[in-house]
Chains A and B, each alone.
Chain A
Amino acid sequence: MLKEMNDFLVFENISKQFGSNKVVNQVSFSISKGEVFSLIGPSGCGKTTLLRICAGLEEPDTGRLILNGVDITALPPNQRKVNTVFQNYALFPHMTVIENIAFGPKIAKWDKKKIVSEVDFFLDLIQLQEHKNKYPSQLSGGQRQRVAIARALINRPLILLLDEPLAALDLKLRQRMLVELDNIHDKIGTTFLFVTHDQGEAMSISDKIAVMNKGNIEQIGTPIEIYEAPKTSFVAAFIGDTNFFEGTVCELINNEISRIHLDGFPEITVYNDKSLRSGTKVYLSVRPEKINITRAYPAQDKPLTNILKGKVEDVIYLGSQTKFWIRVADYRLAINKQHTSFLLDEQPIKWQDDVWISWNPEHGYLLDTYAETDENLLTLPSE
């Protein structure tokens, strides 16, 4: 029973190829009942194809899809207990809000009374009672989106698929809809499979995230695991910003901490939980907010803290925090400083200032794999 709960929806060796383009490459993972599971990755990574395979709108070349213990790989979309909220909602323009929501139940030939009461329930849920006789063209973006959610959920799907549902909305509305989606999930309890390219959306709503790149899943984990302990440079760079270091282990200081030698950078200490030996090549990711920046030499709370001298090359003040780019030898490090005190009373760090930066060894995380191209992700503006 417990196993079944953990493997509510199972993707087993799923592959899909369009022409010579391998879009999904031998992907296997499973989703637990009731959770919000996000597929995240850049456009063209295969996340939407996986979702369409799940909906039955695309047939996988290899592999099986098992929902609630039943193989649904060969089932057409209209026979799956799966419903989708499409990217641009795909509401039926010739039907009113009520007719759109009642479409599924009418096709399934529910009892008329049941249709009326269910539609009414969902109109309450999405708070569109007063707009129920309007056509989609008369609704705002957020309202359309809620209709699309109700139209899918009324069929009581085992899984609700959401294909970039917030992409068409502006930022403020997106955040509000995110909260609303979360509320709806709490009330209905349906399992959500959420596809997005926006890491912020995925982090805030998901129980679990799968990060996809070029048709493969790079890592699956909770938002915190994905952010704090990225396995690959791609994950580290795609989810948030980070600083990459490439070096070799040169000294095992104790069971937990090793010293690392880098080209063009002072030696640094790092938490080595992977019992790597001396001479092993390693890749390290240190998140910008984990690094302290001070004018004065920092008070050392732990003996092996990394303390380095640098020069401020760029500063972006963002109100609650400031982003710094600090030159240390051949490296240019990104650092975020959260302002927890009244900044006007302080003497803020400015451009060209000499500063001290410091971080504890356990604040760096050793990656399993590293590709230089992933550093390019960091230079792209995050959406």
Chain B
Amino acid sequence: MKGMHNKKNLGEWLVTIPPLGWLFIFFMIPTIIAITIAFRPSSPYGDIEAGWTLENFIMLFSPTYITIIWRTIWISFISTIICLFFALPTGYYMARLSQKWRQIILLLIIVPFWTNFLIRIFAWKIILNPEGILQYILISLGIISKNTMMLYRTETVILVTVYTYLPFAILPIFAAAEKFNFKLLEAAQDLGASRWESFSRIFLPNISKGLKVATFMVMIPCLGSYIIPDLVGGTNSEMIGNLIATQAFIARNIPMAAAWATVLMAMILFPMGLVISTKLLSRKMAE
């Protein structure tokens, strides 16, 4: 009996070790190196000096940097909210469609991924170009003036971010909604709930897992955004991702870039840790 158990365990280990080893070598070790470098002093020539310092982290608290941290948070937050706002009804109605239409809509959502991410963002640069067709149409409709610049603004960053990450919000919400028993909404209305009440009290709690996944799927890449603000954003829409790039490639201050990366990681891990720990806590309370 015991031998069999060990054999089964061995098999489990054999299939788990390669991916774990991969993650350890190519993810854990580099992360630890980056965090270590964040505590090293830097030389003006771009070298990493010996010794330990907190200088890099103290520098982060200068007012210009605080502005950028804050901007990164609120751009990510607003983009996530907008994504959820559009993804919820989309996921809801997709789950109610017939199998055939569901497949078609799913395909339409996935099709953009067949084009390279960078090219899609360049497409936005063309669409929003001051000489572009959209600008021309909006001016002739009298919606914007000739001097309005649609590119290189914070709003543009949010627009393109929402465009990029919306499918990542729709898919988990759809997956959860597909498993939802829509008869429950009829039951809620039968018991006196309005359409909104049955949606908020019955539908939302039952797809909460999908909502959480959607939030993380959008929020995490948003916080680490680099290419989108770099290509369609202006000087006033710089995010942490851009700062890291600037520090690493232009200022050649690798310890500073590492410190930024560490902060970014903490920003992502903190809300996730909060969600997981509250869940564990409530489970313990229930016991």
Contact = CB atoms under 8 A, between A and B. Distances in A.
A56 B206 CA distance: 24
Nearest to B198: A78
B191 A151 contact: yes
A83 B191 CA distance: 6
A192 to B, nearest CB: 15
A86 B186 CA distance: 9
A88 B183 contact: yes
A94 B201 CA distance: 10
Interface string A98-119: 0000011001100000000000
A57 B187 CA distance: 10
Contact of A90 (B184, B192, B197, B205): B184
A331 interface: no
A155 interface: yes
Given A107-B192, A107-B193, A86 B183 contact: yes
A76 B190 CA distance: 9
A273 B245 CA distance: 100
Interface string A73-95: 00011100011101010111110
A103 B189 contact: no
Contact of B181 (A57, A82, A90, A152): A90
A78 B189 contact: yes
Nearest to A80: B190
B202 interface: yes
Contact of B205 (A57, A94, A103): A94
Contact of A93 (B190, B192, B201, B206): B206
Nearest to B180: A93
A90 B187 CA distance: 6
A55 interface: yes
A323 to B, nearest CB: 40
B277 interface: no
B197 A84 contact: no
Interface residues of A, number: 23
Interface string A119-135: 00000000000000000
Given A93-B206, A94-B206, A84 B188 contact: no
Nearest to B286: A133
Interface residues of B, number: 17
Contacts of B181: 90
Contacts of A76: 189
B191 A103 contact: yes
Contacts of B201: 103
B194 interface: yes
B129 to A, nearest CB: 49
Contacts of A78: 189-194
B193 A55 contact: no
Given A90-B183, A92-B184, A107-B197, A83 B206 contact: no
A151 B188 CA distance: 11
Contacts of A93: 184, 206
Interface in B73-100: none
A91 B259 CA distance: 51
A84 B190 contact: yes
Contacts of A82: 190
A91 B184 CA distance: 7
Contacts of B184: 90, 92-93
B22 to A, nearest CB: 38
A57 B190 CA distance: 8
B186 A57 contact: yes
B187 A84 contact: yes
Given A93-B206, A94-B205, A94-B206, A104 B192 contact: yes
Contacts of B193: 78, 103, 107
A328 to B, nearest CB: 51
B48 to A, nearest CB: 52
Given A92-B202, A93-B206, A94-B205, A155 B187 contact: no
A90 B185 CA distance: 9
A77 B183 CA distance: 13
A89 to B, nearest CB: 8
B57 to A, nearest CB: 43
B190 A77 contact: yes
B190 A83 contact: yes
Interface string A164-188: 0000000000000000000000000
17 contacts: A56-B190, A77-B186, A77-B190, A78-B191, A78-B194, A83-B191, A84-B190, A86-B190, A92-B202, A104-B192, A107-B191, A107-B192, A107-B193, A108-B192, A151-B191, A155-B191, A155-B192
Given A78-B192, A93-B184, A151-B191, 16 more contacts: A55-B190, A77-B189, A78-B190, A83-B190, A84-B190, A86-B183, A86-B186, A86-B190, A92-B202, A93-B206, A94-B205, A103-B193, A104-B192, A107-B197, A152-B191, A155-B192
